[in-house]
Amino acid sequence: MKLRFDYNNMMDSAIGSHGIKASAIDKAQKAHAAAFADVIENSGKGWQEWTESPLLDKTAVDELNAFGKSIRDKATSFVVLGIGGSALGPICVCNALLHLHHNELPKTVRKSPKLYVEDNIDPERMAALLDVIDIKTTYFNVITKSGETSETLSQFIILYNALKKAVGDAAAKEHIFVTTTDGKGSLYEVAVKEGFKIFGIPSGVGGRFSVLSNVGLVPFAVMGLDIESLLYGAKTMREACERPDIRSNPALMTAFLQYLSMKSGKNISVMMPYADGLKYMSDFYCQIWAESLGKAVNKAGKTVNVGQTPAKSLGVTDQHSQVQLYTEGPFDKVITIIGVDSFGDSVDIPADESAEVGEFLKGHTLNELINAERKATEFALKKAGRSNFTITMPEVNAETVGELLMYFMYETAFAGAYLGIDTFNQPGVEEGKKATFAMIGRAGYESKLKELESVKKDEKFIIK
């Protein structure tokens, strides 16, 4: 394992009364064993098929790479249509592993198409996309596990229609490929009928756990990323997360520390990477943590209303906004810092610059400065008695990103097991989906529409 996990600043020995006692970890051996068994014994089963994703064989990887190259060679732009778990994996991995201004680079330098991941249905965003792409040389990956999601289906309809007008019915089919559950869902049926290339998603891999399935791998292949190393990293982390001793299992340990923190009222979990490439890892984390752990009932059906609100933060940018709150506000947060030892580039702050300003900075590098600021934040948090732990990546590459993603998935699964909830369902999002269907006039939702229409707003609570 390349990642390092330092949880000193979660402990009372470092941060005082708001910290966790080492004995609390030792005393909870039964809880650790139960949480570990809950996840590991179900590995590869039910909704835990995601644990198998890193084991993809070489032939399948080669096929993906060959397909990716075939698209890369002819596409000027590549557009992913998806939302939630069907978009965040492609977003966070591509942001971590591609040049930070990938789309602005000249084609000869970037070597892969411009990338757009469309995870919203803002009409201005769709119109803006159509303004900047040349649809005749753009390829679209429609990603939806269920094949039923309104947002993704509406995007597909709009763009398939635009494609047919631009290149003709037959050629349009070559511009679309679909990633969805094999043999199931409306989009699967349409894809078969229209003759689109289909990439399957195993039935036991849920949206927010799907980044290492075809949901992520197809876009990564198109963008020319190193899938083999990504999966290798994920496999290495899987092995680390299968260690039964909590003291050597990073995901089990931090899940437990978060669980204890939740029990003591630390209901906010801040994810704070110190690297722009990892900015969207926070979005990935926020989704998996919120949608998996925010639950009304436990597995026994008892009302528990648990969960920890995830918050995104970026070092060093948010040192100048949120860190004030983290160090002096309520003791209701756990801050996870992600540090990077060695950045992909090094930028000097020239020692020989004659402008008489910032003398203390001259001769250093931005690399030194960002890591000094990260350590300074850790220090300030510790001094203020705030719970925090640091994950360090030696560098950001496909292997370490694979490790980080797998760690997030295992950490979430273990946290759900400690809480005794179903980590893999999301009943809370259903009501909104049904109300949308009703308002947009989908057949079968007439009574829901009546229910919606019966809701009256009181004018006296509206300010105009």
> 140, 79 in Cβ contact below 8 A?
yes
Task: Decide if 165 is catalytic.
Answer: no
Task: Decide if 174 is catalytic.
Answer: no
Burial class (CB in 10 A: 0-12, 13-18, 19+), 442: middle
Tell me the residue type at 83.
I
Task: Report the residue number, 282 or 388, with the smaller CB distance to ligand PA5.
Answer: 282
Closest approach of Cβ 408 to ligand PA5, in Å? Answer: 13
> 158, 126 in Cβ contact below 8 A?
yes
CA distances from 297 to 73, 242, 288, 459 (A): 50, 27, 18, 35
Closest approach of Cβ 124 to ligand PA5, in Å? Answer: 22
> Whose CB is nearest to ligand PA5?
207
Quick one: which H or E segment has residue 80?
strand 77-81
Task: Report the residue number, 336 or 426, with the smaller CB distance to ligand PA5.
Answer: 426
- The active-site residue out of 18, 433, 434, 448 is 433
What's the CA gap between 69 and 75, in Å, rounded?
A: 10
Closest approach of Cβ 143 to ligand PA5, in Å? Answer: 7
Closest approach of Cβ 231 to ligand PA5, in Å? Answer: 21
- Residue 420: what are its φ and ψ, rounded to 5°? 75, 25
- The active-site residue out of 49, 118, 291, 411 is 291
Closest to 272 in 3D by CA, of 309, 234, 310, 237 = 310
Closest approach of Cβ 135 to ligand PA5, in Å? Answer: 23
Task: Report the residue number, 152 or 388, with the smaller CB distance to ligand PA5.
Answer: 152
Closest approach of Cβ 105 to ligand PA5, in Å? Answer: 30
Give the residue ranges of DSSP H helices in 111-249.
123-132, 150-167, 169-174, 186-194, 214-222, 227-241
Task: Decide if 320 is catalytic.
Answer: yes
Task: Report the residue number, 146 or 392, with the smaller CB distance to ligand PA5.
Answer: 146
Q: Which residues bind ligand PA5 (CB under 6 A)?
A: 83-86, 144-146, 149, 152, 206-208, 291, 426
Closest to 418 in 3D by CA, of 234, 240, 246 = 246
- The active-site residue out of 320, 456, 460, 464 is 320
Angle between helices 150-167 and 430-439 (to 10 degrees): 50
Which active-site residues does the annotation give? 291, 320, 433
